[in-house]
Amino acid sequence: MDQRKGISRRLFLQRATTIGAAAAVPGLLAACGSGVEEGAAPTATGGTTPAGTPTGAATTPAATASVTETATETGTESPTAAAGEPLKIGLLIPTGGVYASLGEDMRNGFQLYLDQHDGALGGRPVEVVEEDSEANPEVGLRKAQKLLNEDRVAMVTGIVSSAVALGVRDLFHEAQVPLIISNAGANDITRAAKSPYIFRTSFSNWQSTYSLGQWAYDNVAQEGMYVIAPDYAAGAEDIAAFRESFEAAGGTVLTGGLPPFGTTQDYQPFLSEIGNAGAQAVFAFFAGGEAITFVQQYRDFGLKDTLPLIGPGFLTDEGVLEAQGDAALGLRTSLHYTPLLDNPTNSAYVEAYEAAYGEQPTVYTVQSYDAAQLIDLALGELGGDTADVDALVDAMANIGALDSPRGPFEMDPVTHNPIQNFYLREVQEVDGGLGNAVLEDLGPFPDPG
Amino acid sequence: MESLVGWLDANLISILNGVARGLLLFTMAVGLSLIFGLADVLNLAHGAVFLLGAYMAFQFAGDGTGFVVAVLAAVVLGVLLGGGLTAALRPISGRGHLDQALLTLGIAFVLSDIASIVWGNDFRSVPPPAFLRGSTNIVGHAYPTYRLAVIVVGLAIAGAVYALFERTQLGAVVRAAVEDRAMVSALGINVGRVLVAVFAIGSALAAFGGVIGGPVLAVNPGLDWEVLILALIVVVIGGLGSIKGAFAGALLIGQVQSLGVALVPQLAAFLLFGAMAVVLLVRPEGLFGDVTA
């Protein structure tokens, strides 16, 4: 009897662990938790959902019009799309996990612009519908479908992760609903997979990294550059763009590591490899929680004193600097924003943001602030009317320059990606805290498309 | 010979780090293993207890004395949670593994959500005590001093747990109860009370692990599942109800995660479950599992 009991117990434990192992696949457990509420939410994973997803609209029962027209007509918009009516905007951001702080920043930046404009964009009072993407492409797609089909939002903004952006691209393109990405840098979104309905107020991964290559060759190292980034869409693109520019400048990249995204607690094996590989400098792309862990461990394993560490400025943005502390001091990175930029728009912005949220703004807050600005100006040109989606996206594409805290900002009418300057920054002690001081303006870097 | 020395030199830090991670994991897994062995309960809330311990570290550990406060708070919290879990499980005792697992899973979700409400979803970093900051030179390689301290403390904990369960009367009763609860009960020993004690000790160890793990791991509301799965793997590999098994399993998993990833970084995501699969194929009862247990 004992023996039987023992065996059944063991069997159970093994099964339970198998279930646990399956749950270890990122986000699955959490997805179960929230998926239950979603109930019948479809989980299309292919990324290509049938066209006209939001045509469930009962407003056009005389469905004789062509598919395109139907989609445009309903466009998830209520029949009265005129000025004065509330404008529903979806905000798709992660609220947990390594990118939680990025999502929060994006919400704050968008809200700040709303608060400064009486809660209205283009003359329409705005109602924001927030959904948690969990920085996971499958979840992101499901939540985007929910925003379009159930909430019937007029447009969506947000999106931190490149993988999520790529996952929802077809949905927005085929539904013809404007998507204003305020972070995710996936290159294809403004290149091969660009869509008349998708815009970016942030950056392309190529942009944020290519800007660093020549400078790194001139100032950091000519060879032996170790490259490391998390193993997902953005990590691979960042490494590729850095290689491209660094090698074009004449440098040679040593080798690299791709730690699993979102689940790596300990970078020690990679840090030891950096030491063993005889690297002369390290290029790293990390953001959010991963940036904190990596920068701290880089110091703890004694690399900070011997090997320069550079990367896109997400590595030391203001949201992670405090937690990184001394470990970040002196690191040099490149980005299209720092709160220490000296221009009047930025000074006013920093002051307003600090007054509203009691902390420094970050690049993510600015990108979402500018997304709100883009919507506001484009919609303003149309008198708040969202009925004609093509006119709306046309207005966005030709909006020209925005008065952005980041300095020069021009919407590229072809790629829908901003043409903007990149700044070489260094983490320094500023007013008793840490800040990213500008060392050099690297100039404008338009994405080649 | 020379190549061996070279190899050791190149991988010394990985091996050392594997030991630190393994010992950290042991403080977590040993409680899970004992609770399973004795109470026949797969306590899926064990990870949440670890997480709350880690948040105690975040809350209190600003300096050296803060760290002591965090340890005390975590241990008290662990004991209370362990007692609470036994009480919660009593009404459904004998209803089978699945019911118990579901209950503890539910409790785990609740605790995890509470942590998320109180401390937010951000990644929190916990500073080590001031005198343990910085790194120590180990044969020419820098290694974080705090992690050396984790190794020392982890070994001490392992020794204490071993002594408690192998050298004391309570330990003898626990081991006997793992083998045959009915018989121990027939001898006039209150197994229910032993159960509470084991639950409390196991949970306190998990919470303590959370505190000392705080400065090594990024504390966030997903950490509980990550460590729970690691601990489950350790228990499966080591054999359930066995302290030696938990120790060996934890050290093995520590090396897989550290040395293994350093040697074949491309397989980082796969190595863990690969190691578990290999052990189960070769020894289905676990390294130290007793077939008749």
Binding-face residues of B in 74-113 toward A, CB within 8 A? 97, 101, 109
Number of domains in chain A: 2
| Tokens (6 digits) for A214 | 């020549």
Provide the pLDDT for residue B7: 85
Residues A120 and A190 in one domain: yes
Q: What span, in angstroms and rounded, lies between the C-alpha atoms of A181 and A187?
A: 12
**pLDDT score, position A31:** 36
What amino acid occupies position A316? T
DSSP B259: I
Question: Is A251 in a helix, a strand, or coil?
Answer: coil
Quickly name the fold that domain B14-282 has.
ABC transporter involved in vitamin B12 uptake, BtuC (1.10.3470)
| Distance of alpha carbon A315 from alpha carbon A312, whole angstroms | 6
In a domain, A222, yes or no: yes
Q: pLDDT tens digit string along B128-147? A: 888 888 888 888 888 999 99
Task: Specify whether A296 is located in the same domain as A439.
Answer: yes
Contact (Cβ atoms closer than 8 angstroms) between residue A336 and residue A423: yes
With CB atoms and an 8 Å threshold, state whether A289 touches B11: no
Both tokens assigned to A122 = 């283009």
Q: Is the pLDDT of residue A25 over 70?
A: no
For residue A425, list its beta bridge partners.
A333, A438
A214-228, A390-404, B262-276: segment of lowest average pLDDT: B262-276
**CA distance, residue B163 to nearest chain A CA (Å):** 25
Task: Give yes or no: residues A314 and A170 share one domain.
Answer: no
Instruction: Measure the CA–CA gap between A77 and A82, rounded to whole angstroms.
Output: 10
The per-residue pLDDT for A103 is 93
Q: Is residue A61 part of a domain?
A: no
Output DSSP code: residue A307. Answer: S
Total-model pTM: 0.80
Q: Chain A closest CA to B212's CA: distance in Å?
A: 15
CB–CB contact A272 B262 (8 Å): yes
How far apart CA A55 and CA A76 sit, in angstroms, is 8
Residues of B whose CB is below 8 A from A266: 17, 21, 216-217, 257-258
Q: Is A397 helix (H, G, I), strand (E, B) or coil?
A: helix
pLDDT band (50, 70, 90) for residue A33: very low
* Chain A hits for B290, Cβ within 8 Å: 6
Q: How far apart are CA B125 and CA A101, in angstroms?
A: 14
B236 to A14: CB separation less than 8 angstroms, yes or no: yes
The pLDDT value given to residue B290: 62
Domain boundaries of chain B, sorted by first residue: 14-282
Q: Which residues of A touch B221 (CB under 8 A)?
A: 96
**Residue A192: how many other CB atoms lie within 10 Å:** 8
Residues A47-60 pLDDT 10s = 333 333 343 333 33
What's the rounded Cα separation, in Å, for the pair A329 and A430? 11
% of chain A residues with pLDDT over 70? 81
Domain check: are A146 and A292 in the same one?
no
CB < 8 Å from A in window 154-193 of B = 179-180
CB contact under 8 Å between A272 and B11, yes or no, is yes
Exposure on the CB side of residue B49, measured as CA atoms within 13 A = 34
Within a domain: A234: yes
- Does the distance separating the beta carbons of A17 and B258 come in below 8 Å? no
Which residues of chain A make contact with B273, given a CB cutoff of 8 A? Answer: 21, 24
Residues A308 and A365 in one domain: no
Average pLDDT over residues A69-76: 40
Amino acid (1-letter code) at residue A53:
T
Looking at the complex, does the CB of residue B131 fall below 8 Å from at least one CB of chain A? no
How many Å apart are CA A57 and CA A176, to the nearest integer? 14
Residues 6 or more apart in contact with residue A16 via CB below 8 angstroms:
B42, B97, B101, B232
Q: Which of B17, B235, B292 sits opposite A3 (nearest CB)?
A: B292
Chain B closest-CA separation from residue A283 CA (Å)? 18
In the block, residue with structure tokens 């904190």: A292
Quick one: closest CA in A to B110, which residue?
A33
Contact B229 A20 (CB under 8 A): yes
At how many degrees (to 10) do helices B64-89 and B46-60 cross?
A: 150
A316 and A437 part of one domain: yes
Q: Which residues of A touch B127 (CB under 8 A)?
A: 325
Report if residue A249 sits inside a domain: yes
CATH number for the domain that contains residue A214: 3.40.50.2300
Please provide the DSSP assignment of B99-122 as one string. Answer: HHHHHHHHHHHHHHHHHHHHH-SS
Tell me what pLDDT residue B182 has. Answer: 85
Q: Which residues of B touch A20 (CB under 8 A)?
A: 228-229, 232
Nearest to A13 among B10, B236, B292 (CB): B236
Which of A16, A258, A293 is the closest to B101 by Cβ? A16
CA–CA min distance B121, chain A (Å): 5
Q: Within the 35-64 window of chain B, which residues sit less than 8 Å (CB to CB) from chain A?
A: 36, 40, 42
With an 8 Å Cβ cutoff, are A302 and B142 in contact?
Answer: yes
Which band of pLDDT confidence, cut at 50, 70 and 90, is reported for residue A10?
Answer: low
Q: Give me the residue label for tokens 């690191």.
A: A331
Same domain, A319 and A172: no
- Chain B residues close to A16, C-beta within 8 Å: 42, 97, 101, 232
The reply to whether residue B293 touches residue A6, judged by beta carbons under 8 angstroms, is yes
Residues A438 and A323 in one domain: yes
Residue A263 has pLDDT above 90, yes or no: no
Same structural domain for residues A97 and A187? Answer: yes
Å between B14 CA and nearest CA of chain A? 6
Q: What is the dihedral sign for C-alpha B283, B285, B287, B288?
A: negative
Give the angle subtended at the CA of B53 by the CAs of B52 and B54, to the nearest 5°. 90
Structure tokens at A350: 């920093």
- Chain B partners within 8 Å of A257 (Cβ): 265
> From the CA of B258, how many Å to the nearest CA of chain A?
6
**Same-domain status, A134 and A86:** yes
Q: Contact A270/B232, CB-based, under 8 Å?
A: no
- What gap in Å lies between CA B61 and CA B72, rounded to an integer? 11
For residue A17, give the chain B residue with the closest CA: B232
Q: Which residues of B touch A228 (CB under 8 A)?
A: none
pLDDT of residue B38: 77
Task: Say yes or no for a CB contact (<8 Å) between A2 and B180.
Answer: yes
Is residue A49 one of the residues assigned to a domain? no
Q: Indicate whether A125 belongs to any domain.
A: yes
Contact assignment for B265 to A303 by CB distance below 8 Å: no
Residues of chain B with pLDDT under 70: 1, 62-64, 290-293
Tokens at A432, concatenated: 């008793």
Alpha carbon distances (Å) from A33 to A313, A342, B112, B225: 34, 46, 12, 13
pLDDT value of residue A81: 55
Question: What pLDDT does residue B155 have?
Answer: 95
Phi, psi of A62 (to 5 degrees): -75, 65
pLDDT at position A15: 54
Helix (H) or strand (E) holding A31: helix A28-38
At residue A79, the pLDDT reads 40
Say if B278 is an interface residue toward chain A (CB within 8 Å): no
Give A17's pLDDT tier (boundaries 50, 70, 90).
low
More confident residue, B30 or A5: B30
Q: Where are the alpha helices (DSSP H) in chain B?
A: 2-39, 46-60, 64-89, 97-119, 145-167, 169-179, 181-186, 191-213, 223-238, 243-255, 261-263, 271-282
- Which range of residues forms the domain containing residue A294? 206-335+422-444
- Residue B120: what pLDDT? 82
Same-domain check for residues A322 and A228: yes
What local confidence, expressed as pLDDT, does residue B152 receive?
96
Please tell me the predicted confidence (pLDDT) of residue A118: 94
- Shared-domain flag, residues A328 and A224: yes
A89 pLDDT higher than 70: yes
Phi, psi (deg, nearest 5) at residue A248: -65, -30
